[in-house]
Structure 1
Amino acid sequence: MNREMYLKELIEAKYGTVRNFSEQIKVPYTTVRSILERGVLNAKMENIINICKGLGITPEQLYNFEDSIVANISKVAVRLTEKRQNNVYKFAKQQYNEQKNVIKMPEPTPEPEYEEFELFGAVSAGTGEYLTDNKPEKVMYKGIVPEHDFAVIVNGNSMLPLFEDKQILFVKKTDEIRSGQIVVVDYDHQAYVKKFVRDEKSCRLVSLNKEYKDMPIDEEHDIRIYGTVVL
């Protein structure tokens, strides 16, 4: 990299184009372009001073460019492989951004807003609850409310660590469930939230907390599916 290349890169980095730069320092565009093409050493000192002022450097730095740290970096960089040149460029850009104090920080996550929904009683993550046809309770929820048909509240700890006691669940109504899904069901006239499992051994409702026994699905028990948990 010679003086003129160095000068042009400074101009484009700070002003975008040579024309914009010439307008800012009030030196004719043709004059600046001529200096870049014919050489700094052939330019008038008055024009060099104006150019250097616009770029925040001294004429001495420009004239002594061949001995400057930038020139020495360039001499070394051209001998590097492309991958290592990219590393040098990234580091130099990082240093420049730190110098200008424009390191981009991650944008803060917006505070979730409260939304209103209807809560239809409790489902058991333990010993059983009764979902009734009473008028649902209006509840405010902080966060994104997923698409759902009704909401319930967990009572108990049988679904830990997935669902905690008093956690609100949003449920999508369905008559068909697949093995592995988390479901809300009426089991022998009590409402539960459980994992539905069907395999070669049996069909059953499973608690994630292993302190609770599986609940078999067979002809001895009445079961009605309310829906699957979407959150």
Structure 2
Amino acid sequence: MNIEENLKSMIEAKYGNVKNFSIKNDLPYTTVRSILERGVLNAKVENIIKMADGLGVKAEDLLRENPQPSVKSSIETIYNQLDAARQAKVYDFAKYQLKEQNKRPALTIVLNGYVSAGTGEWLDDSVKDEIEYTGEVPEHDFAVKVNGDSMIPLFDDGQVIFIKGTSEARDGQIIVCEINGEAFVKKLSGDRLVSLNKDYKDIHISETDDFKIFGVVIL
């Protein structure tokens, strides 16, 4: 195909016909027909620019033997020909692609063990596991993984949490601690360790308990 044949094909693919193209781009129908018949090289520069803008290509592309519409223009052309249900599927797929594109690259982080959001377990500092993590990683002193559901909805079972190391904490803070050899992630409230999931009872800290705070959870 020559330049004019390619141009007409692009117009019909996006607008259906030359008349619709002329109307939507504020170009006289006779002018567009004349350009297609007499040749693009004989057209006024301002008309070539208008036609290129309407087709989503650069003006210089219209002077080539095989001008190609931009990807955006091609997608719009196809999208506008779909029924509403298929347009919704295209939209959902585009949102998914954007979400995938915006995902943070996986980072390798070191887990310093596991803490229970349920009945307690041992926190073994000597066990360090490396895992791939794709979420935001704040500045922290160590990271642990939560086991159990007693801190839902704040923390899910299996969630990685990041800790600022300290032996002191204020009421209301979420802490990683150990009581009588068992490690927990809980909310500190006076002399109690509180679960956010009301299915779990508070843990009372008595004077005889061996209680240590390892750090505060970074929220």
Q: Deviation string for 1:205-229 (max 9, x for gaps)? A: 1001111111112203111001011
Is residue 145 from structure 1 mapped to residue 145 from structure 2 by the alignment? no
Count of aligned pairs between the two proteins: 134
| RMSD of aligned residue pairs (Cα, Å) | 2.8
Is residue 204 from structure 1 mapped to residue 192 from structure 2 by the alignment? yes
CA distance in 1, matches of 2:203, 2:153: 19
CA distance in 2, matches of 1:129, 1:53: 76
Letter in structure 2 aligned against 1:127: T
CA distance in 1, matches of 2:201, 2:178: 17
* C-alpha deviation, 1:131, in angstroms: 0.9
CA distance in 2, matches of 1:54, 1:206: 72
What is the correspondence of 1:162-177 to structure 2 with a 5 Å cutoff?
162-177=154-169
Is residue 124 from structure 1 mapped to residue 116 from structure 2 by the alignment? yes
Letter in structure 2 aligned against 1:227: G
What is the correspondence of 1:72-83 to structure 2 with a 5 Å cutoff?
none
Q: Deviation string for 1:34-63 (max 9, x for gaps)? A: xxxxxxxxxxxxxxxx9x97997xxxxxxx
SS at match of 2:168: coil
TM-score, with normalisation over the residues of structure 2? 0.54
Structure 2 stretches lacking a partner, 5+ long: 1-43, 51-75, 77-94
CA distance 1:216–1:114, change in 2 (3 Å): same
Aligned position for 2:214: 226
CA distance 1:211–1:54, change in 2 (3 Å): closer
CA distance 1:113–1:211, change in 2 (3 Å): same
Q: Of the two, which has the highest radius of gyration?
A: 1
CA distance in 2, matches of 1:139, 1:217: 33
Is residue 161 from structure 1 mapped to residue 153 from structure 2 by the alignment? yes
Q: Would the aligned equivalents of 2:117 and 2:149 in 1 still touch at CA under 8 Å? A: yes
CA distance 1:115–1:189, change in 2 (3 Å): same
Q: Percent identity?
A: 48
Structure 1 ranges of 4+ moved more than 2 A: 52-56
Is residue 178 from structure 1 mapped to residue 170 from structure 2 by the alignment? yes
* C-alpha deviation, 1:197, in angstroms: 1.0
Structure 1 stretches lacking a partner, 5+ long: 1-49, 57-100
